[in-house]
Amino acid sequence: MSTALAAGVLAAGGVFLILRAELLRAILGFMLLGHAVNLVFLASGGLHRRAAPLLDRHDPQAASDPLPQAFVLTAVVITFGITVLLLAVLRASRTPSGPPPGTEGTGGTEGTEGTEGTEDTDAPDAGGRPAAPGHGRGPAG
């Protein structure tokens, strides 16, 4: 009875958190639902009513079913993987969009340290046309 109550409380809390607007709470709700399902799987294996499957090799009817335990182990691994994926999505959604870190305020002139005042006078103008001789944009033009 206490296992069913615990699974019900976990499932109710998980559904409540999944229905919230915040992604972090939805992830926590997903984790709670995973724990509730794991409890149901373990309870279906008869752990409280029977002995461990390998201790009593003479009476296989008294042993609990090992298949739900394998299901729970698999479910834990799958839940962990999905939780990590959801946390990565959460982190990506909170990362500000814009230029990569370290390029703010440089105006796209990375690697030009120490080249102040050495503009190319024959560089193309803003329209992409080459500058006429003697009409450069440099300090001499």
Contacts of 27 (CB under 8 A, 6+ apart): 83, 86, 87, 90
- Domain covering 2-52+64-94, topology: Helix Hairpins (1.10.287)
- Categorize the per-residue pLDDT at 121 as very low, low, confident or very high, splitting at 50, 70 and 90: low
d(CA 48, CA 64): 9
Give the chain's mean pLDDT.
77
Q: What token pair was written down for 29?
A: 């709700």
Residue 93 has pLDDT above 70, yes or no: yes
- Categorize the per-residue pLDDT at 95 as very low, low, confident or very high, splitting at 50, 70 and 90: confident
Mean per-residue pLDDT for 17-31?
A: 91
Domain boundaries, the chain: 2-52+64-94
pLDDT in tens, 97-119: 766 667 666 655 555 555 555 55
Q: What pLDDT score does 123 carry?
A: 59
Q: What pLDDT score does 78 carry?
A: 93
